[in-house]
Amino acid sequence: MEPRLNFFQNAVVGQSIKHMIATNKVIAESGLSPVTRELAVLRASQINGCAGCIDMHTKDAEAAGESSVRLHLVAAWREATVFTDAERAALELSEEMTRIADAATGVSDEVWQNAAKHFEENELGALVMSIALINAFNRMNVATRQPAGNYQPGQYAH
């Protein structure tokens, strides 16, 4: 599959992506668990059908020690018993933020309050930024048909 646009040969996209990737440094310093972040962004990427981001975040999570069982169960997290209450809150927030147009209220008060119960303010801010950022990357990748499968863990490390 050939991408419609080469991100790193396009001056506008290439420069913009550098800034988007730099955002991850702020997120990493927030105190949010890297595992929780990877689970949340993986779930958004699954919903959006972004093969590149699924490839990247699955491999990065594995490299960080995440188990294949948990990664395989992210798509069906509600029925799985392997996630903590905080991780479940992050996954639910990720789903509602990703499917924001599906509800008249966007993210429900119940989902927000549940997430706020499990995360300190900076962690919650990092979670929101991570989900917003991955949705932007998902839309860019899907729209331009970016291929997946060749990502190496840490390839785009901040």
Which positions ≥6 away from 133 have C-beta within 8 Å? Answer: 20, 23, 24, 27, 41
- Domains in the chain, CATH or no CATH each: 16-143 (1.20.1290.10)
Mean pLDDT of 111-131: 98
Tens digits of per-residue pLDDT, 45-61? 999 999 999 999 999 99
Question: Of 75, 88, 96, 95, whose CA–CA distance to 119 is shortest?
Answer: 88
Tens digits of per-residue pLDDT, 89-116? 999 999 999 999 887 788 999 999 999 9
CA distance 118 to 89: 7
Question: Residues 104-122, buried b or exposed e (16+ Cβ, 10 A)?
Answer: eeebeeebbebbeebbeee
Please state whether the predicted TM-score (pTM) of the whole model is above 0.85.
Answer: yes
